[in-house]
Chains A and B, each alone.
Chain A
Amino acid sequence: MDLAILVGIDFVNGVATLALMSIGLAVVFGMMRIINLAHGEFMVMGSYSAAVAYHHNVNIWVAILIVPPIAVAVIGAIIERVIIRRLYGRMVETMLATWGLSLFIVGILTTIFGSHTEGVPAPLSGIKVGNYQTSGYSLFVILMSVVTIVGVYVVLRATRLGLLARGTMQNAEMAAALGVDTSRIYATTFAFGAGLAGLAGGILAPISGVFPSIGGSYIGRAFITVIGGGPAPLVGTVTASAMFGFVNQLATFLSNPVYGEVALLVAAVILIRLLPNGITGRYFRRAL
């Protein structure tokens, strides 16, 4: 029974991590039809800002939850202004440009911090489940993932900004005619997505370790989850990460983490073959 609870926590944790990684990318893709291949590096910048803040004696909770989203959102806003803005409506060019951007950021991070691993300690100790011990931090990751998704839902659904953003994404010309500053909405949405990436990077920093090239291992999974999820950012992310996370954990449980990753990738290829527009391209079409 205790073992079953542990395995259950593992499964939910896998799903939650995947959702946390993908939500920022999904918001930008779903709202703006842009694939940001530098998303993994945005997360790494979040992790680094958490590490730097922590080493400057900032409270650990502030360092992983407050500093990263703000820092990365600011960087995202600048990047939107300088690069992304010129490429709206050209998906392939955007992917190539952000791929260049991701190489650039990896290089800059290596130059500044060196290629060794920075550490951020997990602020929660282990929790006993019967005779076993599990990490309290993984429960925290699950909680934060749920909070983030609910938060994104509230922002998009209940705030004026979310309303303007959804309106602009549906029909930019009409929104502009009604007096919405659409270019500012795009910039804000992109910065919002970047901030979510930063938050994910901050939260995952104690688990994954912080080094410049780790973004590469995030972006593959996040990218696949978003494409598998399809156009609706929230429902798509939740359903796709539930599915891929489950497959990943199941294969990991049965063999080892490498084949877990492989199973995830194979599941993604099959899913895209069956539903080329993602899960929400076929089901839950009117969802958010």
Chain B
Amino acid sequence: MHPFVRSNASLIAVGVIGIALLVGLPLALELFTLLRVTLFVIFAILALSLAFIWGYGGILCFGHSAFFGLGAYAYAVSVINVGDSTLPIVIAMALPALLAAALGYFMFYARISDVYVGVITLTVTLIFYNVVNSTAGPQYRIGDVHLGGFNGIPNVPSLNVPFDPNAVLGPQDMFWVCMVALMLVYFGLRMLLRMRFGRVLIAVRENESRVEFLGYDARLHKLIAFSIGGAIAGLAGCLFTAWGGFISPTAFSVVQSAQIIIWLMVGGVGTLIGPMIGAALISWLTASLGSQQTVDANVVLGTVLLAFVLLVPKGIAPIVTDQLMPWFLSMCRSKPSVASVSRKDKT
């Protein structure tokens, strides 16, 4: 096998699976199911953003829904005002990134770490939730949009072809857009983590003071990582609003933040592939739980989170990377050659 292929085998495997899903799912699934799968894909993007800042940056963010909700609201408000969805997507990523940068400057440059970052981010989410919830009156409007308080903003237009507001994307196009966005985010983060920035970031997670002794600015690295995570969460919020055509303050709720953390715990903190799978699995689980009456969804979610923290603290990612992926790769090879085995012995 070509050395490039061998050293990037898992990346290529993810790419192949991604493209297979991108092409195959619209053919295999009914439109209704495809719509639901699109939502899972959007949540996978959201999971990736927290996977990056928590799993690799070591920043414990308990209020990640602040960025998700801000992106969602920024998109809703700007797309109704502008009409064309091109600029609103940019705004929906830029605003959460700015918020993250401001918060990050506030926290990391004061050397606040660990649990206290969790408290502050949670508090910020609560602030957003309270404020947006209270904007029910007619005086709360931005341009043509009533914020609507707890009723949310209805009738948000979906995405359109860039600079052509009349060419609105259909459900199937929406799936492709979300899937491509997910793959771009995944490979973008992978690339970032291989670059010098990503390596320093991981080093900061492992030992902040040692990294500083070596002359790197840990604060700046955390700040940038946090902003990138904010932007990605904003993108997820934007796609979420465009997908459903509706946004309400529950996007800011603590339950939403808890969900993202559950995806990560199930998938595995410290990986990128795990949280995507966790997001899809748990969203599928909650969606199917919502359609029956016997068990309360919170009981199941709580049990899942408890069980993973106590029994499977590494999540399901190790199962995927250590067992499924080699199996998938060995399926790709025709048969294990003697050469590759002996080469493995030498290294």
Contact = CB atoms under 8 A, between A and B. Distances in A.
Which 4 residue pairs spanning A and B have beta carbons closest together? A104-B302, A100-B305, A107-B298, A107-B299
Contacts of B116: 227, 272, 276
A103 B123 contact: no
Nearest to B307: A100
Interface in A77-130: 83, 86-87, 91-93, 95-97, 99-108, 110-111
Interface in B166-207: none
Contact of B258 (A103, A258, A272): A103
Given A103-B302, A268-B123, A96 B130 contact: no
B254 A220 contact: yes
Contacts of B123: 220, 224, 265, 268-269
B263 to A, nearest CB: 12
Contacts of A91: 114-115
Contact of B119 (A83, A224, A262): A224
A86 B313 CA distance: 12
A223 B134 CA distance: 23
Given A96-B265, A101-B302, A107-B300, A83 B126 contact: no
Given A110-B298, A216-B254, A265-B130, A104 B306 contact: yes
A266 interface: yes
A107 B112 CA distance: 34
Contacts of B60: 92
Interface of A: 35, 83, 86-87, 91-93, 95-97, 99-108, 110-111, 216, 220, 223-224, 227, 256, 258-259, 261-262, 265-266, 268-269, 272-273, 276
A47 B118 CA distance: 28
Contacts of A100: 262, 301-306, 309
B299 A262 contact: no
Contacts of A107: 296-302
Contacts of A227: 115-116, 119
Interface residues of B, number: 42
Given A258-B130, A269-B120, A104 B310 contact: no
A258 B134 contact: yes
The residue among B106, B116, B305 with the most chain A CB atoms within 10 A of its own CB is B305
B269 to A, nearest CB: 10
B324 interface: no
A102 B301 CA distance: 10
A176 B313 CA distance: 29
Given A103-B258, A107-B298, A273 B306 contact: no
Contacts of B122: 220, 223
Given A97-B309, A103-B302, A92 B115 contact: yes
A181 B111 CA distance: 38
* Secondary structure call for the A interface: helix
B120 A103 contact: no
Contacts of B34: none
Given A107-B296, A108-B299, A276-B112, A93 B309 contact: yes
B277 interface: no
Interface of B: 60, 106-107, 110-112, 114-116, 118-120, 122-124, 126-127, 130-131, 133-134, 254-255, 258, 261-262, 265, 295-306, 309-310, 313
A272 B114 CA distance: 12
Given A227-B116, A269-B120, A96 B305 contact: yes
Contacts of B119: 223-224, 227, 268, 272
A101 B301 CA distance: 9
The residue among A261, A266, A272 with the most chain B CB atoms within 10 A of its own CB is A272
A274 B295 CA distance: 45
Given A107-B299, A107-B300, A269 B124 contact: yes
Contacts of B299: 103-104, 107-108, 111
A96 B309 contact: yes
A110 B110 contact: no
14 contacts: A91-B115, A99-B258, A103-B298, A104-B299, A104-B306, A106-B298, A107-B301, A110-B296, A258-B134, A265-B124, A269-B123, A269-B124, A272-B112, A272-B120
A105 B302 contact: yes
A106 B305 CA distance: 14
Contacts of A265: 123-124, 126-127, 130
A90 to B, nearest CB: 9
Contacts of B107: 273
A262 B309 CA distance: 32
Nearest to B112: A276
Contacts of B298: 103-104, 106-107, 110
Given A83-B306, A92-B60, A259-B134, 8 more contacts: A91-B114, A95-B115, A103-B301, A104-B302, A272-B112, A276-B110, A276-B111, A276-B112
A155 to B, nearest CB: 27
Contacts of A111: 295-296, 299
A223 B60 CA distance: 16
Contacts of B313: 93
B2 to A, nearest CB: 42
A107 B126 CA distance: 22
Contacts of B112: 272-273, 276
